[in-house]
Structure 1
Amino acid sequence: MTTKQTPPFRAEHIGSLLRPDYLLEVRRKFDKKEVTQEQLRELEDRAIAEIVNMQREVGLKTFTDGEYRRHMFYDGFFEYLEGFEEVHNPPLEIFKLYVPDIHAFVTTNTKPASTTLCTGKIRHVKSGYLPQFEALKALLHPDEAKNIKLTMAAPEWFHLRHGEHAFKPASDVYADREAYFNDIAAAYRQELEVLYAAGCRNVQIDDPLLAYFCDVGMLKGLRDEGQDPDELLDAYIRLYNNCLAGRPRDMTVGLHLCRGNFRHSIHFSEGGYDAIAVKLFNKVNVDCYYLEYDTARAGTFEPLRHLPKHKSVVLGLITSKFPLLEDKTQLKERVLEAARIVASGTDETVEEALQRMSVSPQCGFASHEEGNLLNADDMKKKLELVKELATSIWADA
């Protein structure tokens, strides 16, 4: 499936934004059943209106609600599907300890408090994202609403963490992994249809798990268990393409990869994109890639030579983890370096390659509701730097 070359916008942000203290406080009270859903919703609405105005002030053209109605970046999909159940205090035996974030929790004596498993036939019965989209749309001017970017969970999120424990292997549920994946894909297609009908034209799937396939430790863990990492990656790519099959051509789908962005600026994995670049860029049927590139742990730009001409890339050069501002001149030089490498893999000029590129922070500012180690002013300065960098390269940014 060929798609448009130009990325949605030159200055991007990944989706999650720092929550104000009053929202964090009311969320804690709501979790303790000390306030009602209506009281929580009132302060969510207030906080989202404020963060929308901040995005306007910075000059960004993409709008998100900061993921303010979620605890975690992946909330909003699986828990709304029939057939999935939240499991509290799950036994450690059902987790794959070689998965980088699980490994990090275990080595710090932090056991996951809950997880979500498939215990029955998967059916899409309700959209968890639609109310978030509609509420944000109501806060925007008509000419802004078309620029909403909705972030979604990765379809393989719970499978990589749990493997064979992710679903009940019974004849009346799912006999094998592919049958389980097929119904997840059907649910994604239905979700995208609902969102498209409501006017959503820009979706970003957040997936740190694909970047885990660049991590030597996880690859060793898979092999030690008798699994072939290449075969599993291929299965996930088939799942992605099944999820996106038949989507409208005017619905842009981006894929965001990072190496973890948990509370208090923690990352989980390391490794360049070299190991997955050919498959990632050429076999996953998305339009653009949002890639972490703020530190050496993400490797070099060399894998970008595999980016085909009909796709675009958003370079996550500015860290969202810490307040120190990067040097704009050095950032611009890095963009030009990346453009030269993109061009080297095609018959394009560097200037033509630049037209398929954008810039952003390397990840969101609050993948978990507690957020990273910077404050609201720091976050705004980071986003202003993204905008300034984009304008210095693309005058129409």
Structure 2
Amino acid sequence: MTVTLAKKAPFRSDQVGSLLRPAELKKAREQFDAGEIDKAALTQVEDEEIKKIVEKQIKSGLKAVTDGEFRRSWWHLDFLAELNGVESYSQNESYKFKGAKTRDTNVRFIDRVSYNPDHSFFDAFKFMQSIVPEGILVKQTIPSPTLYFRDHRSDQAVNFYPTREDFLDDLAAAYHKTIRHFYDLGCRYLQLDDTTWAFLINQIIFTRSAEEKEKYEQLAKDSVTVINKALNDLPEDLTITTHICRGNFQSTFLFSGGYGPVAKYLAQLNLDGYFLEYDNERSGDFAPLGEIFTEGSDKKVVLGLVTSKFPELESEDALQKRIEEAANYVPLKNLCLSTQCGFASTEEGNKLTEAQQWAKLGLVVDVAKKVWEE
């Protein structure tokens, strides 16, 4: 893997990260949960299925591959629970997706938060590095530190921190050390998955109280602070992007609203690229891109125009027209294409087949080749 390859990311045709879990993996996880097989047996199945999924990604034409998040149950909670000072627990209520009921897992603070050198995601990354061929980049996804701000996850932090600033400093330091260790292991492409911006969009749009709005504006400022502190002074050949999601559970969603209310904050993030959902009217129009993207910047905006929620294939012509429309706000050379989200943000997965998933990713690759001729 070369520095040149890393700095080309995000690629003209790219992906968010999660992929539908194959039947063998689902069966093995059910057997493990039932106590019928041990952790080693589950890991062996995970390894084999990840090898297969990596080969399929490469065959599809993608230059950056993931492990499909096959070792995770949730896109975010598995990672969040493993920082020191955090534990997993059952909150006895579902997350409020539109028309779907989730499991009730959550995380909370039981001490000051800190870097965990034994985080299981490190071994997962090392396995990926061991199986990818030269010329293919491993993309590592982790949830943004802002995920600790919501769903009562940081309610207990006041018991361990005298000030909010102390909490943000520790959280940023834990993330900084984590990202730096991924880099030391060979990672050159890392993505912060983030639903908090969509939550803030939703709250700022629909909250009527000025006092409440100010609370959410402050949360947006805190988000910029903790992300930028976490990313400060990292190696230049490490590409870092963010994916902004409005919720993705069994083809349902959590939030609605265009990017306008948070555009000025997104513009302040010290990132190399933004993966932005744009697969339906809930995502708004392209106008906020003009504020998110700074003229003359080398940042990339990855347009999530192909939905991962439903099986119907988008029209190539329609996708090309949408890209042309976005180019009114961001130069074409700074644009890329992806699906709007992953295909399985939780192990349940969205309501489409594996064949339909690969057709979606193939469409992304084909359209990108035609638009950018690279």
- Length-normalised TM-score, structure 2: 0.92
* 1:289 counterpart (258, 265, 274): 274
Q: Residue deviations 1:312-357, cap 9 Å, x none?
A: 1000000001110000011001101101222xxxxxxxxxx11111
2:329 aligns with: 341
Q: Tell me if structure 2 keeps the 8 A contact 1:290–1:315.
A: yes
Match of 1:332 in 2: 320
The equivalent of 2:43 in structure 1 is 41
Deviation at 1:46, TM superposition (A): 1.1
Which residue number corresponds to residue 118 of structure 1? 109
1:322 pairs with 2:322: no
User: For residue 256 of structure 1, what is the aligned residue in structure 2?
Assistant: 243
Tell me, yes or no, if structure 1 residue 203 matches structure 2 residue 190: yes
Distance in 2 (alpha carbons) for counterparts of 1:22 and 1:223 = 52
One-letter amino acid of the counterpart of residue 13, structure 1: Q
Deviation at 1:141, TM superposition (A): 1.3
How far off is 1:285 after superposition? 1.0
Structure 1 unaligned spans of 5+: 93-100, 343-352
- The one of 138, 141, 147 equivalent to 1:151 is 141
Of 109, 125, 149 in structure 2, the residue corresponding to residue 133 of structure 1 is: 125
Contact 1:153 1:206 survives alignment (8 Å)? yes
Once the two structures are superposed, what CA deviation does each residue of 1:358-384 show, in whole Å capped at 9, x if it has no partner?
Answer: 000000000011100100100110011
- The equivalent residue for 1:346 is none
1:48-80 Cα offsets, whole Å, 9 max, x none, are 111111111111111111000100111443222
Measure how far apart 1:305 and its partner are.
Answer: 0.9
Q: 1:70 aligns with which of 69, 72, 81?
A: 72
Deviations 1:137-191 (A, max 9, x none): 11111332xx111001110213221176142x23xx2123221221111111111
Q: Which residue of 2 aligns with 1:95?
A: none
Residue identity in the other structure for 1:15: G
Deviation digits for residues 53-112 of structure 1, max 9, x if unmatched?
Answer: 111111111111100010011144322222111223x366xxxxxxxx84448x97x586
Partner of 1:272: 258
Tell me whether 1:384 sits opposite 2:350 in the alignment: no
Q: Which residue of 1 aligns with 2:350?
A: 372
TM-score by length of 1: 0.86
> Is 1:6–1:357's contact at 8 Å kept on the other side of the alignment?
no
Q: How many residues align?
A: 365
2:3 corresponds in structure 1 to: none
Which residue matches 1:97?
none
Task: Describe how 1:21-60 pairs up with structure 2 within 5 A.
Answer: 21-60=23-62
List structure 1 runs of 4+ shifted beyond 4 angstroms: 4-7, 216-219, 221-227
> Helix, strand or coil: the match of 1:39?
helix
Q: Is the 8 A contact 1:5 1:312 kept in 2?
A: no
Q: 1:85 is paired with a residue of what secondary structure?
A: strand
Where do 5+ consecutive residues of structure 2 fail to align? 1-5
Amino acid of the structure 2 residue aligned with 1:34: E
Change (3 A) 1:164 1:322: closer
- Does 2:245 correspond to 1:245? no
1:237-261 superposed Cα distances (whole Å, 9 cap, x missing partner): 1011111111111111101001111
Q: Which residue of 1 aligns with 2:22?
A: 20
Secondary structure of 1:152's aligned partner = strand
In structure 2, relative to structure 1, the CA distance for the partners of 1:112 and 1:28 (3 Å cut) is closer
* SS of residue in 2 equivalent to 1:340: coil
Question: Alpha-carbon deviation of 1:394?
Answer: 1.3
1:76/1:129 contact within 8 Å kept: no
Cα RMSD for the two superposed structures: 2.2
For 1:172-187, what aligned pairs fall within 5 Å after superposition? 173-187=160-174
Tell whether the 8 Å contact from 1:6 to 1:355 is kept in structure 2 after alignment: no
Residue by residue over 1:257-310, the C-alpha shift from the partner in whole angstroms, topping out at 9 and shown as x without a partner, is 011111x201111100011112212x1111100000000100001111121132
Is residue 313 of structure 1 aligned with residue 274 of structure 2? no
2-structure distance, mates of 1:11, 1:274: 25
Q: Distance in 1 between matches of 2:200 and 2:26?
A: 33
SS in 2 for 1:143: coil
Alignment partner of 1:228 is 2:250: no
